[in-house]
Amino acid sequence: MIAYIIRRTLYAIPILIGVNLLTFVLFFVVNSPDDIARAHLGVKHVTQDAIEKWKAERGYDKPLIINERAAGVEKITGTIFFEKSLALFAFEFGRSDDGRSIGQEISTRMWPSLAIAVPTLIIGIGVAVSFALLLAFFRGSYIDLWGVVICIIMMSVSGLFYIIGGQYLVGKLWHLVPISGYDVGVHGFKFIVLPVVIGVIGGLGAGIRLYRTFFLEELGKDYVRTARAKGLSESRVLFTHVLKNAMIPILTGVVVILPTLFMGSLILESFFGIPGLGSYTIDAIQAQDFAVVRAMVFLGSVLYILGLLLTDISYTLVDPRVRLA
Amino acid sequence: MKPLLSIKNLSTWFETSQGRLRAVDDISLDIAPGEVFALLGESGSGKSLTALSLMRLLPGTARSRGEIWLHDEDLLRLPEIRMREVRGGRVAMIFQEPMTSLNPVLSVGTQIGEALRAHRGLKGKHAERRAVALLDAVGIAEPQRRIHDYPHQFSGGMKQRVMIAIALAGEPELLIADEPTTALDVTIQAQILELLRTLQKERNMAILLITHDLGVVSQMADRVAVMYAGEVVELASRAQFLSAPRHPYSQKLFDSLPGRAQRGKSLAVIRGMVPPLTQTFSGCRFAPRCDLAWQTCRDVTPALLAAEGGGKVRCHLYDANYSVMRPAAPPARLSACNVQAGAAVGPAAPGMRAGADEVLLKVTGLKVHFPIRKGLFKRKVGEVRAVDGVSLALRAGRTLALVGESGSGKTTVGKSILRLLPITSGDVHYGAVDLDSLRGGALRAQRGALQIIFQDPHSSMNPRMMIADIVAEGMIAQGMGGDERARLARIDRLLEQVGLSPDVKYRYPHEFSGGQRQRVCIARALAVNPRIIICDEPTSALDVSVQAQILNLLKRLQDELGLAYLFITHNFAVVEYLAHDVAVMHQGRIVEHGGAEQVLSNPQHDYTRRLLSAVPKIAHHA
């Protein structure tokens, strides 16, 4: 098990190097530091001096890969590739274009993101599994049929509709919660409720339908017939036998997104004015702040790889047949 | 004696798009306390659905009618909550597939415990103690420790023992065993049947044994009911049934068994197929396939009447009112007439028939090892010696049977000869060609000479390809068969040769029965003019009567085309019937090798003797 985790971690290194090289090419070769500076300073009436100054302030004045002018190790370390790209491996994200530390921003902004994402995920799974079990229990009946129809309608409606509709109804018409904003502690609760509810509703249709097919697949298996032949009640067959087996695909599907949760939701956070990492990324994209976008792309990759590793480990916990070696 | 279970006029049907499918049609049976009652039939006869009807475990779309009396309660009229007490309590059931019939994520102790809790009200320590005792009773060593194990930690035979332990938990009066040994090896089958016998005697428990295997019937049953097309056609004691089966269908079942007595002859086959059960029948359901039928059989539906000497039979031959009307000389039919001798395919390749005694395939010291990798860097820490030094020789026009139990490495031998698996060491020569040295194009060109037929005709064809494309694919890959038109003509001839109509070539595999699919697979193999066909358990997924057809076909093709067969099988009856030479495999090695007659009648190796003694003998009249 330990050996497996170490090996998987080693496998992750070439993937991360690939991600790193790719972002380096995209952010510094395809789009040169001069282009970035011009984009920020404005295309017209920009002197070369202003550009050089802007680059020097942010450390973009160095050569890309090899520094001919420096001596010794500096040849390598005094470059954009080393300072900006390789530094990501040490989680040194540097400073954003407006001069603030990106690492600092991430560590403060992840909490609002988590405050939204974690309840959304947990409540979402709970509700989706319950409804899916209900539909599986009444499989083939009208309850099942109409349940699936409603799921498909819910999947077909755009997420933006739930957000805007929810804000309009609950926030503007009924004045139950503020339309947007964020606060810490107990006072933050009223800001969190609506985005969480909308996040849950938005994912419900797809979730119920997916979990229902997991349950139905398990219900067709031989061991279910054995359980019935023992004289167990249908609810016991469903809850102990079917649920336990169906939890394997459900859980592994969830674990893989677990680490990426604190990256937040891009859309939800922007619409509700939550100062999380999702809105941070959106703002950075709008402001053409490549330093932030680059940091978030790299962080996202690391977390996704971590998620895949956790998925494989979680298999061993829920499925006695799986042993990692 | 008052019967334990009495089935009266039970019918089970499905509503399908083709109309009502009567899977079980008006059957009546009595099972006495403590007896072993066998329900014998081929696939589609309705025997499993009869059992599921008893347990009320039918799939949702099925409906049942009739009466099923367990003592003085009609199971079909019990409310579901009372039926649950019967299921697993008074009537328990075990299934064909022990591999999938246990829940993979619950320990066996938990799974036995559920039944103990539901029917004996036992919980916690008491339940555990009882579960250990049950595991012990079904012959699982160290039950105290094994009770916490999960199903995947048990072998197939052990899983079936666990299934039996679960079934015994409720102390049933009747155990329904649905093909309990079909998925198991012959030595394991013998052990499980022995166990069922012992438990049945100890507990005076009745067993309803559902099987397609005459050998199992002969070893286990007190009484037998034969099912055909949803009906019971014969009811007899074992002695009566084995010595003189009455119904023409029962007789045919015995006649289509391969064995030593049939060597060199064609096996009897039942022509045609089981009729679709969506139709309304007039007359006897077996009449279209019966050699003894006359007009009355097609007009008048026979009743299940008491026969002389006990038992019942559904046949006009035994009904004095009708048998007198039978024409004196019944139109004699050749039982093998449905296998039309098709035209030989094309001119044989030059030199193809040369030298009947020529050694076509010579395997020397073949080893196939699979590495076991472990640790941080997946270093090789050991190997599985699937095949460990196998030598054999196959001559033109002869059949070499490679016999062994599952896991003995026999299929690996077949696949590695075809280079479908990499060879670790050893030498495989086809004529003068060293097959292991071939690469790329040379290997592909050589593939025409050696072909394979797989066990499961259902999954060995691409379901999205038409029969014509399946048969043509090999020819195209080998660049043979000429242009499109010539190829189509050749496909027609191949299909005729395997006993199919050329019209089938634009149909898809799912439209065929198992036997027909296996014929298509044989046509596909023949398409590239092979000299050797590796037959990997080609009949073990098929019914006995269909098996006879396929064996006849393989035998005829061998005579016509001089094919050599490497026949991989675990079925000794097939070996006795077909093989010229036999090699017995055990744990990756050949433990005994020789002429079929010599190995089978005078086995030298212990393992061969053990295998042979485990084969259920059918004490038939011959």
Residue in B57, B105, B376 nearest the CB of A3: B376
**The dihedral sign for the CA sequence B588, B592, B597, B603:** negative
- Asked if B88 and A230 count as a contact pair (C-beta separation under 8 A), the reply is yes
What distance in Å separates the CA atoms of residue B355 and residue B531, rounded to the nearest whole number? 12
- Asked if B398 and B564 count as a contact pair (C-beta separation under 8 A), the reply is yes
Q: Do A226 and B166 touch (CB under 8 A)?
A: yes
Residue in B60, B119, B377 nearest the CB of A231: B119
3-class DSSP state of B532? strand
Q: How many CB atoms lie within 10 A of CB B254?
A: 17
DSSP letters, A139-165, are TTSHHHHHHHHHHHHHHHS-HHHHHHH
- Asked if B536 and B414 count as a contact pair (C-beta separation under 8 A), the reply is yes
pLDDT in tens, B345-378: 444 443 444 455 788 999 999 999 988 887 777 7
Q: Chain A closest CA to B163's CA: distance in Å?
A: 9
B17 exposure class (CB count in 10 Å sphere: 0-12, 13-18, 19+): exposed
pLDDT in tens, A112-171: 998 889 999 999 999 999 999 999 999 889 999 999 999 999 999 988 899 999 999 988
3-class DSSP state of B297? helix
Chain B: residue nearest A7 by CA? B376
- Asked if B603 and B612 count as a contact pair (C-beta separation under 8 A), the reply is yes
Angle at B611 between CA B606 and CA B614, to 5 degrees: 125
> Do β-strands B399-403 and B581-586 pair in parallel, antiparallel, or remain unpaired?
parallel
Q: Do B57 and A325 touch (CB under 8 A)?
A: no
Chain B: residue nearest A222 by CA? B101
With a threshold of 0.80, does the pTM exceed it? yes
Q: Do A6 and B376 touch (CB under 8 A)?
A: yes
- Name the residue ranges covered by the structural domains of chain B: 1-90+176-283, 100-171, 287-324, 397-422+436-614
Q: How many CB atoms lie within 10 A of CB A176?
A: 11
B56 lies within 8 A of chain A by CB: no
What distance in Å separates the CA atoms of residue B384 and residue B378, rounded to the nearest whole number? 15
Residue of A226, A232, A248, A250 to mutate, interface with B, max B Cβ within 10 Å: A226
> Do β-strands B305-306 and B359-374 pair in parallel, antiparallel, or remain unpaired?
unpaired
Q: What is the pLDDT of residue B619?
A: 65
Chain A: residue nearest B162 by CA? A226
For domain B1-90+176-283, the CATH class is alpha beta
Q: What is the pLDDT of residue B565?
A: 95
Closest by Cα among A179, A160, A170 to A273: A179
Q: What would the CATH number be for the domain defined by B397-422+436-614?
A: 3.40.50.300
Q: Which residues contact A40 (CB under 8 A, 6 or more apart)?
A: A54, A97, A288
Chain B: residue nearest A223 by CA? B101
Q: Do B95 and A228 touch (CB under 8 A)?
A: no
A3 lies within 8 A of chain B by CB: yes
- Asked if B170 and B113 count as a contact pair (C-beta separation under 8 A), the reply is no
- Asked if B85 and B39 count as a contact pair (C-beta separation under 8 A), the reply is no
Q: Measured between beta carbons, which residues in chain B are less than 8 angstroms from residue A318?
A: 105
Q: Do B375 and A3 touch (CB under 8 A)?
A: yes
Chain B from 381 to 440: CB within 8 A of any A CB? none
Question: For chain B, which residues score pLDDT lower than 70?
Answer: 328-356, 619-622
A135 exposure class (CB count in 10 Å sphere: 0-12, 13-18, 19+): buried
Please tell me the total number of residues recorded for chain B in this structure: 622
* Number of A–B residue contacts, CB under 8 Å: 87
Q: Do B88 and A248 touch (CB under 8 A)?
A: no
| Whether complex ipTM tops 0.85 | no
Question: For chain A, which residues score pLDDT lower than 70?
Answer: 43, 325
A6 lies within 8 A of chain B by CB: yes
What distance in Å separates the CA atoms of residue A118 and residue A113, rounded to the nearest whole number? 8
3-class DSSP state of A228? helix
Q: How far apart are the first and last CA of chain A?
A: 6
Angle at A261 between CA A259 and CA A264, to 5 degrees: 140
Closest by Cα among B167, B169, B164 to B191: B164
Closest by Cα among B315, B286, B317, B289 to B303: B315
A325 lies within 8 A of chain B by CB: yes
Q: What is the pLDDT of residue B347?
A: 40
Q: What is the pLDDT of residue A265?
A: 81
Q: Do B114 and A230 touch (CB under 8 A)?
A: yes
Closest by Cα among B179, B184, B21 to B96: B179
Q: What is the pLDDT of residue B354?
A: 45
What distance in Å separates the CA atoms of residue B567 and residue B565, rounded to the nearest whole number? 6
A100 lies within 8 A of chain B by CB: no
**Which secondary-structure segment (H or E) carries B566?**
strand B564-569
Residue of B56, B83, B99, B101 to mutate, interface with A, max A Cβ within 10 Å: B101
Q: Which two tokens mark B620?
A: 């038939």
What distance in Å separates the CA atoms of residue A169 and residue A176, rounded to the nearest whole number? 9
Alpha-carbon distances, residue A37 vs A54, A115, B36 (angstroms): 7, 36, 90
Same fold, B1-90+176-283 and B397-422+436-614: yes
- Name the residue ranges covered by the structural domains of chain A: 110-288
Selected from 1.10.540, 1.10.8, 1.10.3720, 2.40.440, the CATH number assigned to the domain covering A110-288 reads 1.10.3720
Chain B from 100 to 119: CB within 8 A of any A CB? 100-107, 114-115, 118-119
What distance in Å separates the CA atoms of residue A120 and residue A167, rounded to the nearest whole number? 17
Q: Chain A closest CA to B409's CA: distance in Å?
A: 24
Q: What is the pLDDT of residue B621?
A: 52
- Asked if B339 and B333 count as a contact pair (C-beta separation under 8 A), the reply is no
Q: What is the pLDDT of residue A11?
A: 86
Q: Which two tokens mark B468?
A: 């014509």
The amino acid occupying position A65 is: I
Chain A: residue nearest B86 by CA? A231
B62 lies within 8 A of chain A by CB: no
Chain centre distance of CA B379: 41
Q: What is the pLDDT of residue B236?
A: 94
For B66, left (φ over 0), alpha (ψ -120 to 50), or beta? left
What distance in Å separates the CA atoms of residue B515 and residue B329, rounded to the nearest whole number? 32
Q: Do B105 and A245 touch (CB under 8 A)?
A: yes
Q: Which residues contact B491 (CB under 8 A, 6 or more apart)?
A: B468, B471, B472, B502, B505, B523, B527
Q: Which residues contact A83 (CB under 8 A, 6 or more apart)?
A: A59, A62, A77, A94
Chain centre distance of CA A185: 24
pLDDT in tens, A67-102: 777 777 777 777 888 877 888 888 888 888 778 899
Q: Where are the alpha helices (DSSP H) in B478-584?
A: 484-497, 514-526, 544-561, 572-578
Q: Which two tokens mark B147?
A: 């009770």
